[in-house]
């Protein structure tokens, strides 16, 4: 049996295993009871999405909540709709980058942010109590469809003063696009055409049948790489199933690596609007180099969109995000947003006037290696404690897991919010150094897992 993942990243599980109708209903009922009367519901295109959507809407109605249904759309579209419709909360039905058998509930507060630890704990406590409190027939909630959420999201981006829509339309970029048959398919092809782009489409049917592993990392983008190499394009984009993360490929079909989606956005944006930048503890040092070159400050948080978003709000930061391809632009809303990242990238490319491969070459050069190891029933906190003890004489950052800061490199070990795994990161100036240091840490983790299984 798989593990139900409950965190600030939502309620995630394998459908029919840990993510079942009773589980869905108890968490949705607790959410509706705590958040209030009006809830926005949207989803990605997963094959289980319709089933989960009906359960979510029915449960909310049954406890007296009114529901605004916005259908298949990116998660950031749901977040923005919560704000625009002045709702009490929202639910995005998506397991993001997880495999096809997974689904999840991403829970959103009235400000369009995901729930933080305190609010999530309250939902869990409510779900584990006596059960849903259903209302009588005359107090059942109502449903209404809101068909303008995607339009509203596009307009919010088009209205940004530093996105020159007429100039982009005149330039007519040729763009390759892989939406992995996810929610981005109902947004990005038309969005790009609205910006004057000629679009070479790959996997843009929103049927939820992922043609490859859905996380937008280089090893999963061979199809898009081949499309770029067989077509003359200026840039290529790939998104995950709920379109909050963006990966970029050059005109040569070379992945820029997801860390550099945010790096490009930060470099472009600080030239327009100087200010503080907030990123998570796992994000590339390239961000620090870029931000410091503008004389500005970088603040780091725990991994998890809500941690970054809340700190952006507290610090009045101008931009932020996570190194997994997630760009947060508070001028639009406080959530990771692939369409926003697409618009900023195209505008950056327009103003740069040269190929994106040259734009990437002008950024600070680091190589980050990301690995993950399944931990089974091992206690991840015990493994983290073991690594901390092994490296107690090094410079440690414990804001999220265990991060080992060295002069020219860093390593990090942290438990995942979305999968029953431990993540191992290493960044260095060269791939050889990053691979070597990550392999050493990976071996340490395996020894600790084996030791915990024996005890």
pLDDT at 448: 83
pLDDT at 376: 74
3-state secondary structure of 188: helix
**Whole-number Å distance between alpha carbons of 247 and 445:** 29
| Same fold: 152-361 with 367-454 | no
Work out the average pLDDT over 319-323: 95
Angle at 102 between CA 101 and CA 105, to 5 degrees: 150
Q: How confident is the model at residue 131 (pLDDT cuts 50, 70, 90)?
A: confident
**Residue for token pair 């259908």:** 71
Work out the average pLDDT over 168-187: 98
Q: How confident is the model at residue 454 (pLDDT cuts 50, 70, 90)?
A: low
CA distances from residue 256 to 21, 57, 126, 225, 420 in whole angstroms, order as listed: 40, 40, 43, 12, 28
pLDDT at 130: 66
Question: Is 96 part of the annotated catalytic residue set?
Answer: yes
Residue 83 has pLDDT above 70, yes or no: yes
Contact 13, 99 (CB under 8 A): no
Residue 331 has pLDDT above 70, yes or no: yes
Residue closest to 199 by CA, chosen among 178, 220, 230 = 178
Please tell me what DSSP assigns to residue 343.
H
Give residue-wise pLDDT tens across range 343-364. 999 999 999 999 999 999 999 9
Contact 255, 297 (CB under 8 A): no
Q: What is the bridge-based pairing of β-strands 277-280 and 319-322?
A: parallel
Give residue-wise pLDDT tens across range 267-279. 999 999 999 999 9
Give residue-wise pLDDT tens across range 246-298. 999 999 999 998 899 999 999 999 999 999 999 999 999 999 999 999 999 99
- The partner residues of 427 in beta bridges, in order of sequence, read 368, 410
Residue 77 has pLDDT above 90, yes or no: yes
Give residue-wise pLDDT tens across range 17-42. 999 999 999 999 999 999 999 999 99
Q: How confident is the model at residue 324 (pLDDT cuts 50, 70, 90)?
A: confident
Higher-pLDDT residue of 450, 198: 198
Please name the residues in contact with 388: beta carbons below 8 A apart, sequence gap of 6 or more.
Answer: 396, 398, 402
pLDDT at 192: 99
Q: How confident is the model at residue 442 (pLDDT cuts 50, 70, 90)?
A: confident
pLDDT at 111: 97
Q: How confident is the model at residue 3 (pLDDT cuts 50, 70, 90)?
A: confident
CATH of domain 5-147: 3.40.120.10
Domain boundaries, the chain: 5-147, 152-361, 367-454
Q: Which of 9, 45, 96, 282 is catalytic?
A: 96
| Least confident window among 3-17, 109-123, 187-201 | 3-17
User: Quick one: what percent of the chain has pLDDT higher than 90?
Assistant: 83
The dihedral sign for the CA sequence 182, 187, 190, 191: negative
Q: State the average pLDDT for the chain.
A: 94
User: Quick one: what percent of the chain has pLDDT higher than 70?
Assistant: 99
pLDDT at 455: 58
| Least confident window among 81-85, 173-177, 273-277, 370-374 | 370-374
**Whole-number Å distance between alpha carbons of 298 and 93:** 32
Residue 97 has pLDDT above 80, yes or no: yes
Residue closest to 296 by CA, chosen among 314, 313, 281, 278 = 278
Residue 410 has pLDDT above 70, yes or no: yes
Give the pTM.
0.93
pLDDT at 445: 86
CATH class (in words) of the domain with range 367-454 = alpha beta
Contact 216, 246 (CB under 8 A): yes
CATH of domain 152-361: 3.40.120.10
């Amino acid at each position: 049996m798989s593990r139900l993942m409950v965190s600030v990243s939502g309620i995630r599980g394998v459908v029919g295993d840990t993510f079942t109708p009773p589980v869905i209903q108890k968490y949705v009922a607790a959410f509706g009871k705590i958040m209030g009367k009006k809830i926005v519901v949207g989803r990605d295109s997963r094959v289980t999405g319709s089933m989960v959507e009906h359960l979510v809407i029915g449960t909310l109605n049954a406890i007296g909540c009114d529901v605004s249904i916005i259908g298949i759309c990116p998660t950031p579209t749901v977040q923005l709709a919560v704000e625009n419709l002045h709702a009490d909360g929202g639910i995005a039905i998506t397991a993001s980058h997880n495999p096809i058998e997974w689904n999840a509930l991403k829970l959103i507060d009235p400000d369009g942010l995901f729930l933080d630890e305190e609010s999530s704990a309250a939902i869990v406590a409510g779900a584990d109590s006596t059960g849903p409190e259903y209302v009588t027939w005359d107090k059942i909630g109502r449903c209404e469809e809101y068909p303008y959420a995607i339009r509203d999201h596009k307009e919010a981006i088009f209205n940004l003063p530093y996105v020159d829509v007429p100039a982009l339309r005149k330039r007519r970029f040729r763009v390759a696009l892989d939406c992995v048959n996810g929610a981005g398919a109902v947004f990005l092809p038309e969005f790009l055409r609205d910006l004057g782009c000629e679009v070479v489409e790959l996997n843009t049917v929103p049927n939820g049948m992922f043609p490859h592993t859905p996380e937008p990392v280089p090893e999963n983008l061979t199809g898009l790489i081949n499309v770029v190499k067989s077509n003359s394009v200026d840039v290529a984009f790939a998104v995950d199933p709920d379109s909050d993360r963006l990966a970029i490929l050059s005109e040569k079909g070379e992945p820029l690596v997801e860390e550099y989606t945010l790096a490009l956005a930060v470099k472009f944006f600080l030239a327009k609007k100087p200010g503080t930048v907030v990123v998570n503890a796992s994000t590339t040092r390239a961000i620090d180099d870029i931000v410091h070159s503008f004389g500005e400050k970088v603040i780091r948080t725990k991994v998890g969109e809500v941690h970054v978003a809340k700190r952006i709000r507290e610090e009045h930061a101008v931009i932020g995000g996570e190194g997994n391809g997630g760009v947060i632009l508070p001028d639009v809303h406080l959530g990771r947003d692939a369409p926003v990242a697409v618009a900023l990238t195209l505008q950056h490319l327009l103003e740069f006037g040269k190929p994106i491969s040259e734009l990437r070459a002008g950024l600070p050069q680091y190589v980050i290696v990301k690995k993950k190891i399944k931990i089974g029933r091992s206690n991840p906190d015990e493994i983290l404690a073991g690594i901390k003890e092994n490296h107690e004489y090094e410079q440690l950052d414990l804001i999220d897991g265990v991060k080992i800061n060295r002069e020219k490199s860093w390593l990090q070990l942290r438990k995942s919010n979305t999968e029953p795994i431990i993540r191992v990161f290493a960044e260095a100036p060269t791939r050889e150094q990053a691979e070597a240091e990550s392999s050493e840490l990976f071996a340490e983790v395996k020894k600790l897992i084996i030791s915990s299984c024996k005890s």
